[in-house]
Amino acid sequence: MKDNEQARMNRRFAIMSLLQAIAILICVVLSIQYFGRKAQDEKPSVALILASAKETPGWPRDISLGLQAACDQLDYNVYIEDNISTEGQSLREVTEKLVHRGVKHIFLANPGYQQELEYLAKKYPLVNFYANSVGQSVSYEMINYSVRYYEVRYMAGVLAGLHTQSGIVGYVAPFPAAETRRDLNAFALGVQSVRPDAKIRVRWTEYWLNNKREEECIYGLKHEGADVITYFSASQHAAEEAQKLGVDYIDFHHASSRLPSRCLAAIETDWQKIFVELLRQNLQRDSHTIYWHGMLDGVVSLRLSNKLLPKETAMVIGTRQKIYAGFPVFSGRITDQYGVLRCMEGEALDGTALRQMSWLVKGVEIIESR
């Protein structure tokens, strides 16, 4: 009897020990999940708001991957809200949701967003709103930042001017705004620096992203004699269309590891580096402080095709070295389409003149849509 009773007690003790072990294990697992989730929630959070799908080749994909890489580097949480229109309540609702989730850094990828969200930026002073626009629409309530694409556009213009056989270079852009004129003018000055008689023909799509209009513009420029084309657009569709039509082009976004056969060069932006620098600094929110990164900051470059003629490669590299040495793209005698002198010999345009550019360089021809 004593042996049976002892055996029962041993079994009870074993069962109780097993149950205690299971209970402890469950507590440990729940604690790990709770504190792990809490630690994740306490990490700084960053968000990006896009007007199109984040996988869209071009600006949406490049900027999304760049922000994700920057947040991985800094150990930040990241939220990407895409296909958000500036019309209706969706933009405000998404932004309010992000703020209530604890996001402290919100990047706006569409210049149209900042007018809609001015009141929210003022309502939430502890949240940093970053407006990707350096033009006439800089904001007092947001952190204004952009890329000095005009520097690398000038280099692209040098390449286009050297490469064109017809003397007609095509340019597709969304609509005349300060940033689009600035890039277009820099490109035109680059073309004219090596081919003074060249014509720079421009077609406006009237959209930041519209595949059909971009196709029409590329097709129209080809049939107007342009044998080299570049573009300013959120998508990469214009580059794909030029490749399909057999027209040499300069891409505005990250190309594949191997440049397509008709791609002379690609303008590429290191968004990861830009976002890391913006997130690490204690930035000011006002319209007087512009965070404007360029070639000298190592965030934008022109990747050249290995199929270029040696002279073309040498001239573009030489131009790059001039810019690195301090050459201002908008300097010397510059005249606009109407013969007005915009910059005098021996002078250079200052930052205010660049941000508020409302004119086009002599030699630029706007081709109206038909």
Of residues 1 and 221, more confidently modeled = 221
Flag whether pLDDT at 86 surpasses 80. Answer: no
Instruction: Supply the pTM of this predicted model.
Output: 0.86
**Residue 197 DSSP symbol:** T
Place of tokens 């706007």: 366
Task: Give Cβ neighbours of residue 309 (< 8 Å, ≥ 6 apart).
Answer: 162, 163
Provide the β-strand partners of residue 81. 49
Residue 368 has pLDDT above 80, yes or no: no
When pLDDT is cut at 50, 70 and 90, the band that residue 286 belongs to is low
Q: How many CB atoms lie within 10 A of CB 41?
A: 11
Q: What share of the chain in percent tops pLDDT 70?
A: 86
- Check if the beta carbon of residue 200 is closer than 8 Å to that of residue 171: yes
pLDDT surpasses 70 at 310? yes
Distance of CA 12 to the CA centre of its chain: 67
pLDDT, position 137: 64
Please, what is the average pLDDT of the chain?
Answer: 88
Range 318-329 average pLDDT: 97
d(CA 18, CA 31): 20
Q: Which domains does the chain have, with CATH numbers?
A: 43-132 (3.40.50.2300), 149-268+300-366 (3.40.50.2300)
| Residue 109 contacts residue 115 (beta carbons within 8 Å) | no
pLDDT, residue 171, reads 98
Predicted confidence band of residue 338 (pLDDT cuts 50, 70, 90): very high
What tens digit of pLDDT does each residue of 54-82 get? 999 999 999 999 999 999 999 999 999 99
Asked whether residue 367 carries a pLDDT value surpassing 60, the answer given is: yes
Neighbours of 292 (CB within 10 A): 14
Which uninterrupted H or E stretch holds 202?
Answer: strand 199-204
pLDDT of residue 35: 41
- Distance between CA 338 and CA 219 in Å, rounded? 28
What span, in angstroms and rounded, lies between the C-alpha atoms of 231 and 171? 5
Alpha-carbon distance 19 to 146, whole Å?
Answer: 61
- By CB atoms closer than 10 A (0-12, 13-18, 19+), residue 308 is middle
Using 50, 70 and 90 to split pLDDT, how confident is the model at 281?
A: confident
* 3-class DSSP state of 109: coil
User: If we measure between CA atoms, which residue out of 287, 294, 365, 290 comes closest to residue 329?
Assistant: 294
Among 21-25, 283-287, 289-293, 322-326, the range scoring the smallest mean pLDDT is 21-25
**229-276 residue pLDDT tens:** 999 999 999 999 999 999 999 999 998 889 999 999 999 999 999 999
- Cα–Cα distance, 324 to 296 (Å, whole number): 6
**Three-state secondary-structure class, residue 330:** coil
Asked whether the predicted pLDDT for residue 34 surpasses 50, the reply is no
Q: Which pLDDT score is estimated for 64?
A: 96
**Pair 267, 252: CB distance under 8 Å:** yes
Q: How confident is the model over 315-338, as a mean pLDDT?
A: 97
271 and 284 Cβ atoms separated by less than 8 Å: no
